[in-house]
Amino acid sequence: MIPHRYVFYAMTDANLEALAQLVPKLRERAHVAIVTPKAALSDLTKYLRDDRINHVIVGEDLENGVFVTAQKLLTGDIFGIEKYLPPNTPVHYARLRDFEGRGKAIQTVLDFAEESKMRRQVRSAIGQVCEELLMNALYDAPVDADGRQVFAEIDPHDRTKTRSPRPVSIRYAATDDMFAVAVRDRFGRLAKNTILAYIDKCITSPNQIDRKTYGAGLGLYLVANAAATYVVNVAYGIATEVVCTFDRGAKTPLRLVGVFVHPGGAEMLKQGPTPESVDQDLSRG
């Protein structure tokens, strides 16, 4: 057995067989980060399937990606957009609870991106990610005392007329090299298997995914396709924070993925909803 709690495993190609040989030798509670020169989105989801593998660092983001990932794992301090920014970078903040606030927040972020001289293609990606993350935080994240989704039975169009039971926050910043956005809800229910299941569904489905049925799941896939960095920080029952960054130049493929779960309540995030479980619930209804 390999006794280490934190493992950074370098891969020169998508050698899943070698990875499969390594994983059984690890402690059950080990944290593995894959370090690889390149990886397609489909490769990233394959790497992340085991509970112990929660981070993939690709290509040019090796130095910064490894440092930030190691720092968060060792300290347990997982939240905060500042970890992905140079020291003393100004971070802007907005709080909202409804659809109107969402629209104003997105426009404010896009205005700031334009003032920061971000290219139009990058601003488009920023806007798309903000839309998806804010909709998820406002209407898919809220649960009641029994853990049931508050807006599950409400038509998506009608959801926009209601307020989220808890406020949602968005933070954003610009540097010489990139733009960063972080959206946080106050429920902390997003599980890794949910993210992977919906991304896989969108990659492999021969048909267009139904936005009405898979709204939140489709959003997870769209975010993964639009951002250069996609990091999810979760403390069960407390908060989910999604941090995304975008390169200042042309749009680049996803190169840093991380799912950081606070140890408190981590067992409750082992299994979240998937397209299959949603289909089953719909068929029962």
Q: What is the pLDDT of residue 247?
A: 93
Q: What is the pLDDT of residue 268?
A: 84
Average per-residue pLDDT for the chain: 87
Confidence of residue 19 (pLDDT cuts 50, 70, 90): confident
Q: What is the pLDDT of residue 266?
A: 82
Q: What is the pLDDT of residue 232?
A: 95
Nearest to 91 by CA among 175, 20, 168: 175
pTM: 0.91
Q: What is the pLDDT of residue 284?
A: 47
- Read off the pLDDT of residues 63-79 as tens digits, 9 standing for 90 and up: 678 889 999 999 999 99
Domains of the chain and any CATH numbers: 1-76 (3.40.50), 78-284 (3.30.565.10)
Planar angle of CA 181, 210, 200, nearest 5 degrees: 65
- For the cut 60, the answer to whether the pLDDT of residue 211 exceeds it is no
Phi and psi, residue 248, nearest 5°: -65, -30
Confidence of residue 243 (pLDDT cuts 50, 70, 90): very high
CA distance 230 to 243: 6
Q: What is the pLDDT of residue 214?
A: 44
Give the pairing type, strands 163-174 and 178-185. antiparallel
